[in-house]
Amino acid sequence: MKRFDNTERLGVTVVEQFFLTEGWIPRNIYQTDVGIDMEVEICDDGHPTGQLFGVQIKSGESYFTENSGQRVIYRGSLTHLEYWLKHSLPIILVMHNPKSGETIWQKITEERVIRTEKAWKVEIPKHQALVNEYLEEFRQLNKLPLYFQRLQRMAMDKMLMRKVSQGDVIILEVEEWVNKTSGRASISVREMDAKGNEMTLSEGHYLHFGGPESLAVLFPWADFEIDDDYYYDDEHDAFLNEYGIWDWEEKEYAGSYIDWREYRQNMPKIRALYSPGDEVQLYRLFFSLNGLGRSFLLVDTFLNFGSQLRLNL
């Protein structure tokens, strides 16, 4: 179940649209144990850089009631603060007022927060709006060398990798607007249970999606294969429309000019479903781990084992 009610969703939409307009990749996260609402990946000229930061979004007029002059005061729990401060990504807090349209932000660091006996607070300048003049500041949030930031990208997907490695069915759906020069696409990651029910784990948008080649950039640890059952009927219908022999008396196809199985074997391994005249083509793919993903999990397991061993000595 998604964590957002209508008011929260308004703030998420504003933040998502801001970063998407700038050509960056915002990805909403729905796992209840994650502690942040969104990851944002910085892009240069449409190319993902692997540079990430996390976003916590608070939406509602009530968040703006306590202020000190030109600053809005946000109060939170120590549990959330400790989580954000220890997070592998830098975290910004964004507050949105649906009534006034204000959207302001603050980086969460030990230096900026004021601890109280049972909680904490942070002051957010009213002039520090979510506008593009702060893009360079967002670029500087993550001070790690780029190599380590790319490892962070892998680490943020560790939960997905572990699910795939233990045999869970994880699905990627990409809807690409093919008639738009921007290459806009919506991307959804879902988990299917034993009964066939699907739960959305994360979703986001990408302005420069370039087909299967982009998958290697967005998920460098994964290989993919199509959901064959999902594709079969649509592809068979399209095949018959192109190569079928129509029996006018029986009002049905009597066969085809070429072999369907051979035709399908020669189709690209990773492909989209596309109906002529539609503006959207759909990829529905299953995740599997590639060599990089398996190696990452092996090293992560080894490091965790070493940490536990040191604690027990």
Better pLDDT: 3 or 260: 260
Whether residue 11 sits in one domain with residue 141? yes
Q: Cβ distance 75 to 121 under 8 Å? A: yes
On whether residue 98 sits in a domain, the answer given is yes
Q: Would you say residue 136 has pLDDT above 90?
A: yes
Domain termination residue (choose one: 113, 145, 177) = 145
**pLDDT tens readout for residues 143-191:** 777 777 777 778 888 889 999 999 999 999 999 987 665 678 899 999 9
How many angstroms separate the CA atoms of 66 and 73, rounded?
A: 6
- Residue recorded with tokens 């609402």: 37
Residue 174 lies in a domain: no
Domain count, the chain: 2
Which residue range(s) make up the domain with 98?
6-145
pTM > 0.85: no
The pLDDT assigned to 3 comes to 47
Among 8-17, 126-135, 269-278, name the most confident range.
126-135
Residues 202 and 94 in one domain: no
Q: What does the pLDDT look like over 15-63, one tens digit per residue?
A: 999 998 888 989 888 764 457 889 999 988 878 888 889 999 999 999 9
pLDDT at 212 over 90: no
Q: Quick one: DSSP state of residue 110? A: T
Q: What local confidence, expressed as pLDDT, does residue 309 receive?
A: 41
72, with CB counted inside 10 A (0-12, 13-18, 19+), is buried
